[in-house]
Amino acid sequence: MIKYKSILMGSVFWGDNMKIFSNLSKEKKKYYQYVFLSTFIIGLLIHFYKISNTLLNHDSIYNYYSDQNVIASGRWFLSVACSFSTWYDLPWVTGLFTIFFIAFTNLVVVDVLKIRKLKTACLSGAILVSFPAITETLMFGFTADGFALAMLLSAVSVWFALRNNGNKILNCVVSVICLTLSIGIYQAYLSFALVLIICYAIKNINVNSEEYINSKMRFVIKQVVLVAISMALYYITWKVLMLIQNVTPTEYQGIDQVGFSLSAIISAPFRIVKSIAMFILGGNILKNGISIYAILNILFILLFLILLVTYVIKNKVYKQIGNLAFLILCVICLPIAVYCWSFTSQTVVYANRMVESISLIFVLFIVLTDELKLQAYIKTFISVFTLAMVINNSLIANTCYFYMQQENDATLSLATEMVSNIHKLGKDNDSKIFVVGSRLKDVVIDDKYDTTQIKCLSPMIETDLLFDEIHTVEYLNNSLNCNFTTVSKEEKDKILASSEYKNMKLYPSKGSIKIIDDVVVIKYAEPDVN
């Protein structure tokens, strides 16, 4: 039923947009076609390694097939979003859908920011599709297309919010619906809409009118109201669906604590500064060393600030205090918009896949460059610099995919050997199993190769996936077609108290796998008493 609903909704959505597209001139149609295709092709080239191979991560091993019903996590529309393609983890299918949605998102961004130069529009698409957030999203291939659709809906919501043609009330309604659904897929993409609105405001900062302040205030109030309504609608829908399904919010990412806590609000600025620093530097540079990624990010911030000052001077923004104050406010609000969920819970930890909105700041950078009458060599330098960042992001992506391949090969080898040892002990693939402890600290990417360049994404990659009971059992059952079952707490306690267990060595040493009380026991580490 959900599948048919999603198809119907999709037809209505795309039908409306195609109607808008049909009203464009022949030149604009051709322009948008070039922009879309360039983004799509660049996305294919960058992420071909991932979408052409089955590269599992720590979540993929128990999401071979999943309806993505994760209402407890607040993602009540994710199931429908993923149903547009498939609930199977099919890399080619979900990968193509992901890149398609990103390419369409770029069209919306190009139209919102009124990017008229083809080079800039194509570069915008390259930035969006190469950004580390997309790489990390594709590591979770089973849900990547759903997240990409959330980004598209977020951008479309802004497009309708800013649209002057047609029925204004209807535009606002569609905007609210799109943003509500976007948040219902993945909450992090609220930031994408907020940052896009701010980028639009900065780009159009030099509007001269007698009622400048009033017009800007109306603009801000309208956007705040639309976002607030969307948030309220999202929250109400979530609560209703949880009541229907009789579930409670998960503790993951502080979902169960979301609200307006004074302590969360007070601590948010400090946590945002820390998050920004970690993003820019790609991790702890004192521990891991500085990477090209970090150097390029630092240079970008310097160039962006210089460009903003130049923009203020060349457009004489400083002559209108209202303009200047609004610009400063917009710049300050950019990081707040990116990390907006930090104000709702102290336990929110931003992963790279949650900050695709930052890519819009890079897009704004090249857009402002086009707006300024700079020397040709300066514009060329900025284009080359931006292209260098895209290429570096692409190298990071493929290096990560390489490591995922290594991770998957190692996991298959270890799992095959593990099953072979179980057979030697006289047990079959449908036995009871008890995996003790966690190897998580032992499976972080080691120094076999230089991993400095990918430290920004390395927490998403391990040396192998067999690091605790749930991941081991799920991998053996799903990837090697076993049918192992876990044991009860009482059985576990009995085994842990036995002398046979106490004499066991740690995996992968000989004697780390034993049969105790007719249960296959694998000892990774001593159990956490906490």
Range in 32-41, 280-289, 362-371 the model is least confident about: 280-289
Give the pLDDT confidence of 475-492 residue by residue, as tens digits: 999 999 999 999 999 999
Q: What is the pLDDT of residue 214?
A: 63
Amino acid at 454: I
Phi and psi torsions of 90, nearest 5° = -105, 105
Q: Could you tell me how many residues make up the chain?
A: 530
Q: What does the pLDDT look like over 270-293, one tens digit per residue?
A: 999 999 998 999 877 767 778 999
| 459-463-464-470 Cα dihedral, nearest 10 degrees | -30
Residue 109 has phi, psi (to 5 degrees) of -60, -45
Render pLDDT for 244-276 as a digit per residue (tens, 0 to 9): 988 887 766 556 566 567 777 888 899 999 999
Cβ-based neighbours of 33, under 8 Å, separated by 6 or more: none
The pLDDT of residue 48 is above 80: yes
Average pLDDT of the residues in 385-391? 97
pLDDT at 106 over 80: yes
Q: In this predicted structure, which of 13-17, 343-347, 395-399 has the lowest mean pLDDT?
A: 13-17
Distance (Å, whole) CA 150 – CA 189: 6
Cβ-Cβ contacts under 8 Å for 361 (sequence gap 6 or more)? 195, 199, 304, 334
- Confidence band, pLDDT 50/70/90 cuts, at residue 411: very high
Residue closest to 439 by CA, chosen among 490, 361, 508: 508
What's the confidence (pLDDT) of residue 257? 60
Average pLDDT, the chain: 89
From the DSSP assignment, how many helices (H) and strands (E) are in the chain? 19, 4
Q: How confident is the model at residue 529 (pLDDT cuts 50, 70, 90)?
A: low
Give tens-digit pLDDT for 355-364. Answer: 999 999 999 9
Average pLDDT over residues 428-445: 92
Peptide bond connecting 508 to the previous residue in cis, omega within 30 degrees of 0: yes
Which residue type is seen at 46? Answer: I
Closest CA to 338 of 199, 203, 160: 199
| pLDDT tens profile 108-142 | 999 999 999 999 999 999 999 999 999 999 999 99
pLDDT tier at 5, thresholds 50, 70, 90:
very low
The pLDDT value given to residue 14: 45
506 vs 190: CA distance, rounded Å: 45
**Could you tell me the pTM of the whole model?**
0.91
The rounded distance, in Å, linking the Cα atoms of 119 and 383 is 9
Residue 231: the pLDDT is 94
